[in-house]
Amino acid sequence: MLFNSFEFLCIFLPIALSVFFILGRWRGPSIALGWVVASSLFFYAYWNPWQLWVLAGSLFGNFYLGKRVSTGEHRRVWLSIGVTLNIAVLLFFKYSNPTVDKLDHWLDLGWNWHHVIMPLGLSFYTFQQMAYLIDSHRAGESEPSFLRFTLFVTFFPHVIIGPIVHHREMLPQFADPKVFTPQLANFNLGLPLFFLGLFKKVAIADPIGHLVDPAFAAAAAGTHLSLFEAWAAALGYTFQLYFDFSGYADMAIGLARMFGVQLPQNFDSPYKSRSMAELWRRWHMTLMRFMREYFYIPLGGNRKGPTRQKLNMFLTMVMCGLWHGDGAGWTFFVFGVAHGIAMIINLSWMRWREANNIQLGAWWEVYASWALTMLTWCLGLVLFRAANVSTAVDIWKGMAGVYGAALPDQLLAFVPVLKEWITPVRVLPHLAGGTVLGLMELSAMLALSVLLTLGFKNMAEISQRRRVLLLVLCFAFAIQGALFAGVPAQFLYFQF
């Protein structure tokens, strides 16, 4: 069930909310929380009921391990077992198919391996429970109620694509009696966020995806993209991914707020960043918080000298790339390596500036820093989207102009001087539907994306009065796009 589907918007959500508050008022907190758990499990099972077995095994196993790592003997041993088992499950579902296929190819074993389907949300709820085990070990206490633990993991707004939440952030909120009574303030905050996220998804991300997906498909099939095709595809995906994923995060936070629960912010205008380090701090903030607290700092963080800090930063970014990967190719590993190198360069540059007392104050320096950051990010996301590394390299060649530059002659007629270095063609068949109108639509969508990401405040910075106005403006566009656009499109991060 998708947040942008008719079933969710018109059936599931109204029933889940209204019954929760009715039970909270008349039957008590435990029954109301049980209803939210049941609703969340139904929401999750709606995709594929068999995946509940994986989720149930993860829940029971980590709840038991939480008790063992928090009290008694051999707590550290139990923690090691728990973390190892969680990683093993994640690796099995992510990498067993490609690993067996590669062994079969190399050794000619003739194995008839049945493809393992990765359960939705596995990466997110596995990391969330690993954090729970580590925190329980550190604090010497665990959650005593299996119902509350299940709620913490499966709460439907965040179970599929996050945000990744600490149990200490979420569970105490359900102990507040006010949660079980509808609060106007919560709906004033939650509804604008939800409809803003829905607007991002159905009015921006999905239309851009329809326009640029054919270009990536053509590149995967061996077609060389020319300069404008390659750049349009790369820039289009850069904004498609942002509005798709940040849209989901907005919807998740807004939905939780309607239930009286405040989830952590996951995006903070990352495309306004002036360095790669700043961009990663603002992008998928809860994942980077997890990586910092449970990987980077345990490796030593910045406490063991500059060389070790750079190595720790590099390894953290490689791990981040592998977390996104599906094992089918090297693209996400290379993505992690590339961003690890970029982070090392960024840190070295900042250290050099500090040592020489150099401040970036001039306007052109600020804009140059921003432009270089976004260029690096856009090039990296080609790896994120491409079918394999060779396809990504081929798209980069297109962006460098290796395969020439071409535009429809109808557009070149407006600027004849460009014909001296741009080849006139009838259409660009692999981009924006192969029509001039499609190219104009894509250009308009990219211009709108730039305006929204750079020219406006994010939701956390908007006043309450303007949030209500935003709700009114986004409502009609979002509902029309969600309910009347045919089959709803999945969110891009479902594959992770």
Catalytic residues: 324
CA dist., res. 217 & res. 386, Å (int): 9
HSE, side-chain direction, 13 A CA sphere, residue 386: 30
Q: Are 193 and 257 in contact (CB under 8 A)?
A: yes
HSE, side-chain direction, 13 A CA sphere, residue 355: 6
Distances (CA, A) of 389 to 37, 50, 252, 328, 369: 41, 33, 33, 11, 27
Distances (CA, A) of 451 to 15, 376, 442, 445, 454: 37, 20, 14, 10, 5
CA dist., res. 253 & res. 261, Å (int): 8
Inter-axis angle of helices 331-355 and 389-399, nearest 10: 50
CA dist., res. 84 & res. 119, Å (int): 19
The amino acid occupying position 82 is G
CA dist., res. 89 & res. 161, Å (int): 18
Spell out where 45-127 has E strands: none
The number of residues in the chain equals 496
Nearest-CA neighbor of 381 among 396, 371, 360?
396
For residue 423, the SS3 value is strand
Q: Are 94 and 120 in contact (CB under 8 A)?
A: no
Please give the distance of CA 213 from its chain centroid, rounded to a whole number.
18
Please give the torsion angle defined by the CA atoms of residues 100, 81, 148 and 51, in that order, rounded to the nearest 10 degrees: 10
Verify cis geometry, omega within 30 degrees of 0, for the bond prior to 429.
no
Nearest-CA neighbor of 127 among 158, 96, 165, 92?
165
Q: Would strands 406-408 and 423-425 be described as parallel, antiparallel, or unpaired?
A: parallel
DSSP H helical ranges for 108-160: 122-139, 146-154
